[in-house]
Structure 1
């Protein structure tokens, strides 16, 4: 392969007409609004990937749950393992347990990603360390569907320390915040299970936010922006 071939953008994937129709029917993403946190439907997302390199690694499975009317809605759950037969076994298998057999039996990536987009709808997405999930999902959507990710993401890993400035955690991982609030976790490092525990954590944080006069997605995002600026300035000194 020549350097020029490598640099040339990859061709858009050839989609089945039904897939194109499904993409066309997707609702336009809505900006974070002034409805209350309780009134907003949220989708909490977790991805299991082949590694942590957002330019090289792949999404292997996706799990999501919905928060609606201020509660975790168990009738709205999503889980897909993607068909990745070419994926080699590596150290990540020891964490998420997705071996060759599970990946060979997985769903067509384009179909699974369309299912996820329809599940999300026009809802904002919550994730723990959201920038990673956002970049991985955006890359998967571009590769499999030629689609640009537009839904807003909010990072639970930022919301938690912002609302709990007196809590000092060295690593500040999901397990640390789960322990901090005494949540009971039956299973971890499985996309749907991690999405559920992240949702439970988010509900605690939303309750804290309301007590701090933050009761809309827009207010929460505006406070986060200010918190990021202050944190970046403090760490840069």
Structure 2
């Protein structure tokens, strides 16, 4: 037993031996690749939460789909509602449609999060408003598993105006980009459905990226960093 495992058992979440073994088997997060976008495995994530404060509100549901070899792999999807017996109904419940009874009957959070990490593997993450989703997920993983999320996460809400400036949709929501690209989405404000819509937008954006000479996740991240710096620079 190494020093970290010993400390985790003393101070961290109380995990069973099997859960600790599953946690230990998880692969390390891979850095953003310089390889072509068409060869990547990406996990597109969407969360449902009890509110809009990533430092306080609760993770209620995880939805994820996989982009692999330039297409959405419908055989690889993850969907899970996390059990909570302490959640009181609020305005967010009316939006995401998760009834208190469904949340009370959800999966045990530790098992749900372990299952998601096994599904994620070493793949990078994509999300719409990724900072929020990554913050909520990171806090839940730390509290439930003592796990530090280190997977790179690209924000589709930033990639879209970067790659499609002609759309003039600077601070647009997911619905705005769905409309702009003429996508047909049967359901919204549901984690799995929103993850699928985000994945469809991401594939369109990757096509735009390749036409602009950006054919790797690493290249996209570098361009995105420069774009952010320009947005923050004062106008002259």
TM-score (norm 1): 0.93
Match of 2:8 in 1: none
Matched, 1:153 2:189: no
**2:106 corresponds to 1:106:** yes
Moved >6 Å (runs of 4+): none
- Aligned-residue offset at 1:169: 2.4
CA distance in 1 between partners of 2:212 and 2:183 (Å):
22
Q: 1:149 to 1:46 in 2, by over 3 A?
A: same
Q: Distance in 1 between matches of 2:198 and 2:97?
A: 20
Partner deviation per Cα, 1:9-28 (whole Å, 9 max, x = no partner): xx411111111111100001
Cα separation, 1, equivalents of 2:203 and 2:73: 12
Residue 173 of structure 1 pairs with residue 162 of structure 2: no
Written as runs of structure 1 = structure 2, the 5 A alignment for 1:43-192 is 43-169=43-169, 171-192=171-192
Structure 2 counterpart SS, 1:230:
helix
Q: Write the deviation string for residues 179-233 of structure 1: whole angstroms up to 9, x where unpaired.
A: 0000000000000000000000000000000000000111011100100101111
Are the counterparts in 1 of residues 161 and 170 from structure 2 also a CA contact under 8 Å?
A: no
Give, in whole Å, the separation in 1 of the partners of 2:170 and 2:230: 19
Q: Deviations over 1:71-124 (max 9, x none)?
A: 000000000000011100001111001121001110000100011111110100
After superposition, the Cα gap between the structure-2 partners of 1:189 and 1:144, relative to the gap in structure 1 and judged at 3 Å, is same
**How many pairs align?**
227
What is the SS of the residue equivalent to 2:187? coil
RMSD across aligned positions (CA): 1.3
Name 1:7's counterpart in structure 2.
none
Unaligned runs of 5+ in 2: 1-10
Aligned match of 1:211:
211
Provide the C-alpha distance between the structure 2 equivalents of 1:144 and 1:183, rounded to a whole number of angstroms. 37
1:48-76 CA-to-partner distances (Å, cap 9, x unmatched) read: 00001111101000000000010000000
